[in-house]
Chain A
């Protein structure tokens, strides 16, 4: 069976994300009778004509009152035998942090654009965030095509705009689809309303998406050391989730940042002895030598190990109302480790109107920028493009405990 794909619906506020998710689930028979009845009842209560499928995922009181999505809703979806976890992200700029939550780790995004109003700065922000988060495929839905008389010219115009914006941020592959989420046009099947379009429907694209790229180098952050003395053996197991690659009994490994080496004596996959195990399984590793390894350390193959460094350059999505200015003291949470850091320098900010990086001395909430970070103690890191696990972190403000940024490592730098 193929691994579950993570797909997130993004795009500017009101462009039809929730309606599309509702439509997709409805038209593929994923909704049970009482769920449909509940949505119909909620629609009637709000004086809607027909059934407002956005009310399926807009489940919070405040969302229904305002008719917008505030936080991401997740639904499992079966696209002709392929398991997909669908995230319905909010489009409103105020809730960009929730969109980042949903898009980090996503394999593909469905980007909705209102055919009437076209791309907005928020459309471009979401596209840029998808690009930097490494979302590989973007299904660009030119939605509400019913409002522009199913115009091919308008479709081509917006699709070209999106392709240009994606190219500017080294972006993902784009498949463009003319769509009416409201009427179900090109959602499950290609529809007669757009005879000039001969590409796939949304469902067909989801079904045929490539498998996620598999990172092959073995890495496992140690989450917990299991100690157990059964009277015969004093067991010391290194418990964690394999982040990438695979490991076999007998493999030589290195624990970082300390650099001690040993060999794998035994592998347990939740109680079952195995000769080998791979990502993304949670396992317990037993080493041949009784070396000092603790929570937060990373177990890796000896060759091609990640770097140990205290300084790196990174792309940040700033998520806090309190702006970022350099220098700023924060805490970084990465893998199973928390380290005090200083954001030393702020280099650039992405200007959404031009999609160009411009010099900046402050990042406001929802800005995307490039910074240098200095860590108080050695971190095991790699560029995000090579390792999602070792290259991603969040920043926390220790004064408020708020998560203030999602960070992707661009380059590991020489230390002080």
Chain B
């Protein structure tokens, strides 16, 4: 039939993600979409808007703000939310620190990455959310590769990777007991390349730090970290100016940039295809502490 447009890989991934988003919205009482202003959550929020258009989203967005974010990302976040005209909840790690729920780390290795878990779980409890959409992909990390679309969390927010619910076909068991919740991952089967190709296809704008720019950086553990008041440097860590971009956007203290001259989506795609380093290898210090670092964080309720 000539009326039918050819269905490509991105169309299938898009349809799958929207199916999962709609299932969750229909079955869960109080979902929330975790929005960091990073490329995956931008794609996720864009898909959610499409899933319910022309009506608005049947759930709010929530940002877990470590207080150590790139200003470009916070600005982008606020513009994005204003443009789609939806509700944003900001859960602040600083508030958790001020309330004595967690303790700020100190020294050059201090990071608020781990502290986010408490803030996130407290916010889920406070707002009685029973499902939190996340933009995680299976290609990011080996414990993520094991996760279901509807990933069950017990009343303590914990993930039990040894006892996940069967998830045959595209049928999701959405039953919960009081206090439990789901983490829902509509982008599970997308790769980093798919995300960039989709951003290009849909003409999505991104925070400027995803493209090559001049920045004052210093090198640590083979990564280029941003020079910023939030990160204490060892005395031997020299700062210098470099043309870089970020492959992921997270807490400043554990997100590295890469040398790059890519200023367009097409150039980023070409660089990413040719790169011999994975996304996490290039940019996340948090996984370098141990080989099960991500699994351990996830078990305790991390994103």
Contacts and interface: CB of A to CB of B under 8 A. Distances in A.
B146 A76 contact: no
- Interface size class, chain B: 35 or more
Contacts of A394: 166, 168, 171, 173
Contact of A241 (B19, B161, B166, B171): B19
Interface string A218-230: 0000011011101
Contacts of A389: 169
Interface in A235-252: 235, 239-241, 246, 248
Contacts of B175: 396, 398, 401
A34 B55 contact: no
A264 to B, nearest CB: 12
Contact of A271 (B5, B53, B162): B53
Interface in B128-146: 138-139, 141-143, 145-146
A225 to B, nearest CB: 10
B99 interface: no
A388 B171 CA distance: 12
**Chain A interface main SS type:** mixed
Interface stretch (B112-120, B208-216, B249-257, B274-282): B274-282
Contacts of A120: none
A62 B277 CA distance: 26
B191 interface: yes
B18 interface: yes
Interface stretch (B22-30, B61-69, B80-88, B230-238): B22-30
Interface stretch (B6-14, B34-42, B100-108, B259-267): B6-14
Contact of A282 (B18, B177, B296): B18
A85 interface: yes
B22 A224 contact: yes
B1 A270 contact: no
Interface in A5-34: 32-34
A270 B14 contact: yes
B139 A35 contact: no
B19 A34 contact: no
Contacts of B7: 3, 278, 280-281
Interface residues of A, number: 71
A398 B172 CA distance: 14
Nearest to B18: A282
Contact of A396 (B23, B143, B173): B173
Contacts of B155: none
B51 interface: yes
Contact of B142 (A73, A100, A105, A281): A73
A203 to B, nearest CB: 19
A76 B191 contact: yes
Contacts of A60: 142-143, 146, 161-162, 292, 295
A327 interface: no
Contacts of A393: 171
Contact of A224 (B26, B276, B292): B26
A32 B142 CA distance: 14
A329 to B, nearest CB: 15
Given A73-B146, A282-B51, A336 B23 contact: yes
Given A277-B4, A336-B23, A401-B176, A61 B9 contact: no
Contact of A388 (B52, B169, B173): B169
A76 B189 contact: yes
A333 interface: yes
B209 to A, nearest CB: 22
B173 A403 contact: yes
Interface in A105-135: 105
B188 interface: yes
Interface of A: 1, 3-4, 32-35, 38, 41-42, 45, 56-57, 59-62, 64, 70-76, 83, 85, 97-98, 100-101, 104-105, 223-224, 226-228, 230, 235, 239-241, 246, 248, 270-271, 274-278, 280-282, 295, 319, 333-334, 336, 388-389, 392-394, 396, 398, 401-403, 406
Interface of B: 1, 3-9, 11-12, 14-16, 18-19, 22-23, 25-26, 50-55, 138-139, 141-143, 145-146, 148, 161-162, 164-173, 175-177, 188-189, 191, 275-278, 281-282, 291-292, 295-296
9 closest Cβ pairs, A-B complex: A59-B142, A104-B168, A34-B281, A282-B18, A276-B3, A401-B175, A282-B15, A228-B55, A33-B276
